[in-house]
Structure 1
Amino acid sequence: MIAATAELLRAHPWRWSLAIAVALALLPGVDLAVAGWFYTPGVGFAARHNELGEFVRKGLPHLLIGSVIYVIVLWLAGEAMGQRFLGVDRRIAAYLGLSLALGPGLIVNTLLKDNWGRARPSQIVEFGGEMRYTPPLVPADQCVDNCSFVSGHGALGFWVIAYALLAPPAWRPVAIAAALAFGAVIGLVRIAQGGHFLSDVLFSALITIGVTMLLHRWLIGVEAPSPAGEGGGPA
């Protein structure tokens, strides 16, 4: 039984990752419990204004968007000068630009965050706010825009896998693991700040990694491996 289960997880990483996300959506106590680890009554979410949290919230988007602009500039310069800089060609520039624009940009921030209406942990009654907790997969009316579902910063953190998928094959599993760890840390910081629930981060990971892997397959022409090398899914 254990061997069969392990083989199922190896063969279908996205199925069980989605199953975990859906299970989390059906168990609101998990979201509230994890957020509660970082909340102190009368104090709030202590990590909300620390230096690391503020860098993640304010600096990370500029850093990652700037990295794509840099890649596009390298491509344009290469086109103008008839050579390639740092291996950047039209496909790589398009892949990185589109994966950032469609995943964290269009789907996460425009379609979901601005329309889903889910209040953030710091805004709900359980953590000193006035809004009502709502499950992640249920559209709500507890927030007007820039809402909790899904995590924009989490999506940006997990988007780093776009670079990892460009690593040489021998280094790719390590690069992917590092990218997933980076995304998980960014998501954890936002949870600790009271900005997002665990489910917000997990669904942002699924969306961003899925979009990125599809674009990698279509634009780069090499099938992207599963996010943990041979057999894993997003943590």
Structure 2
Amino acid sequence: MTAHVAAGYMSWGYIMVYVMDAGRAPRGTIAQKPLLLSLLITLSISAFFVAFPGVDLALSRLFYVEGIGFPAGEVEALQTFRAFGQYFPLALTIALVVGLILKLIYPSRPSLFPPRFTLYFASLFLLGPALMVNGILKPLFDRPRPRSVLEFGGTDTFVHAWGLGGQFFDDRSFVSGEAAVVACLIPLAFFVPVVWRRCVFVLLAVFTALTALNRIAFGAHFLSDVLIATGLMATLSIGLAHLIYGRPGVQSCDIRLDAALGELGHRLHDARRKTIAQFVTTIRRLSLAPAMLQPAPTNGTEQQS
């Protein structure tokens, strides 16, 4: 697994650097077509596991104990590591949402995060793990998890990668959602200063690889599930990077987006003020209505007559 993952991450890193600074890539090299390269890597990994489905079973068998199942799932340290892998992307999402809210609350101030940074990662998480993985692939491919197949004490028939299966159930293995979410963090390495870029990239790549291995040890996913998920997220991240960062003339996009968010914030403030003013006016009218409906007071003479 390590060799496949390392090769994929090194290619990813080279491609992403190209997208961020397209001027460095000489014409005629493979770096001229980064999206195609990433797609070919993903297709090659997919073809390998379709041709040799036994590799999935062989690796998962290393973590299986007859009569027990996958005991790694009961190890508290591994469970804690899995929780960290779930909360880290969630923390990034919350930070982006908070930054967007602060910009709308204080529209005259600059954005907490560059608008393109927020747009990029919001698009990556929504189109990748949310739509592609959980919205399309998991509902479409009925692949049971390793702990559910007959080879590992389960009741379901093993299905190779990209296999439809034909059994309809909720707990599906293809592809790994957690591996996809963590893989979407790797592009963060290309937003840090250049001197830290390689270090941060290696740390995020190792973190993603350990998360993938953790899911395999738990009997929750096959090797092909995590590798194909990583490849798909790499392809998507490169495509989005080209659209948001790599095209000519997008350097001023941050300024335009910041101005658009500021204008939206001012409109929301104006709408809030108008709503409050209308509410206060309505309350005043309602408070005066009982007094207007009361009969006019009469003097003593009128009462005596």
TM-score range, shorter chain: 0.7 to 0.9
Which of 149, 153, 156 does residue 131 from structure 1 map onto?
156
- Find the aligned partners of 2:181 and 2:191 in 1 and give their Cα distance: 17
- RMSD of aligned Cα (Å): 2.4
The structure 1 segments of at least 4 consecutive aligned residues displaced by more than 4 Å after TM superposition are 56-59
Q: How many residues align?
A: 214
Return the offset for 1:104.
1.1
Kept after mapping to 2: 8 A contact 1:31/1:197: yes
CA deviations 1:52-82 (Å, max 9, x no partner) are: 4433555533431231121231133145433
Q: Which residue of 2 aligns with 1:33?
A: 58
Q: CA deviation digits over 1:127-150, x for unaligned, max 9?
A: 000101111112113451241000
CA distance in 2, matches of 1:97, 1:26: 35
Matches within 5 A, 1:122-161: 122-161=147-186
Matches within 5 A, 1:207-218: 207-218=232-243
Contact 1:115-1:145 at 8 Å conserved across structures: no
Q: Which residue of 2 aligns with 1:181?
A: 206
Instruction: Tell me the distance in 2 between the aligned counterparts of 1:222 and 1:162.
Output: 18
Residue 105 (structure 1) aligns with: 130
**Number of the residue aligned with 1:232:** none
- The equivalent residue for 1:45 is 70
Give the whole-Å Cα distance in 1 for the aligned partners of 2:119 and 2:173: 29
| Corresponding residue of 1:229 | none
Does residue 1:114 correspond to 2:139, yes or no?
yes
Residue 231 of structure 1 is matched in structure 2 by: none
Alignment of 1:70-109 (within 5 A): 70-81=95-106, 82-84=108-110, 88-109=113-134
Moved more, 90-99 or 159-168: 159-168
Whole-angstrom distance in 2 between the partners of 1:171 and 1:216: 20
| Aligned mates of 2:197, 2:152 — CA distance in 1 | 41
Report which stretch shifted further, 63-72 or 26-35: 63-72
- 1:206 paired residue among 220, 231, 234: 231
TM-score scaled by structure 2?
0.64
> What is the rounded CA distance, in whole Å, between the counterparts of 2:114 and 2:154 in structure 1?
49
Q: CA deviation at 1:173?
A: 3.2
Confirm or deny: 8 A CA contact 2:145 2:221 kept in the other structure.
yes
Q: Give 2:272's aligned residue.
A: none
Q: Distance in 2 between matches of 1:102 and 1:70?
A: 19
What 5-or-longer segments of structure 2 have no aligned partner? 1-10, 15-29, 32-36, 249-305
Q: Against the structure 1 CA distance between its residues 29 and 95, is the aligned structure 2 distance closer, same or farther, given a 3 Å change threshold? A: same
CA contact (8 A) 2:70 2:147 kept: yes
Deviations 1:30-55 (A, max 9, x none): 00000000001011101112224433
- Structure in which a larger fraction of residues adopt helix: 2
- Larger C-alpha radius of gyration, 1 or 2? 2
Q: Partners in 2 of 1:176 and 1:18 — Cα distance? A: 23
Are 1:196 and 2:221 matched, yes or no?
Answer: yes
**Contact 1:53 1:190 (C-alpha < 8 Å) held by counterparts:** no
Between the aligned partners of 2:46 and 2:246, the Cα distance in structure 1 is 29
CA gap 1:122/1:142 in 2 versus in 1, 3 angstroms: farther
Q: Percent identity?
A: 30
Say whether the 8 Å CA contact 2:137–2:174 is kept in structure 1. Answer: yes
Structure 1 residues 217 and 76: alpha-carbon distance in aligned structure 2, compared to 1, 3 A threshold: farther
